[in-house]
Amino acid sequence: MAVKVKIPTPLQRLTNKQSQVEAEGFTVGEVLADLERNFPGFKE
């Protein structure tokens, strides 16, 4: 399932200054894992 995730300003440096990104997952953990896969360092 694709979801849109709003990225707070301090974390936008990890998403190439995008304020919103799409991620895949059925749980919060899966969405975070997908964000980490696409934007290394996001989970830290």
CATH number at residue 10: 3.10.20.30
User: Using CA atoms, how far apart are residues 18 and 27, in angstroms rounded to an integer?
Assistant: 22
- pTM score, whole prediction: 0.85
Determine phi and psi for 20, rounding to 5 degrees: -150, 135
Q: Is residue 43 part of a domain?
A: no
pLDDT of residue 43: 83
Q: Would you say residue 14 lies in a domain?
A: yes
Q: Give the total number of structural domains in the chain.
A: 1
Residue 7: domain span: 2-38
Question: Which residues, in sequence order, are CB contacts of 19 under 8 Å at separation 6+?
Answer: 6, 7, 9, 12
pLDDT tens, position by position, 1-44: 999 999 999 999 999 999 999 999 999 999 999 999 999 998 88
Q: What's the pLDDT score for residue 13?
A: 96
Q: Is residue 44 part of a domain?
A: no
Whether 24 is covered by a domain: the verdict is yes
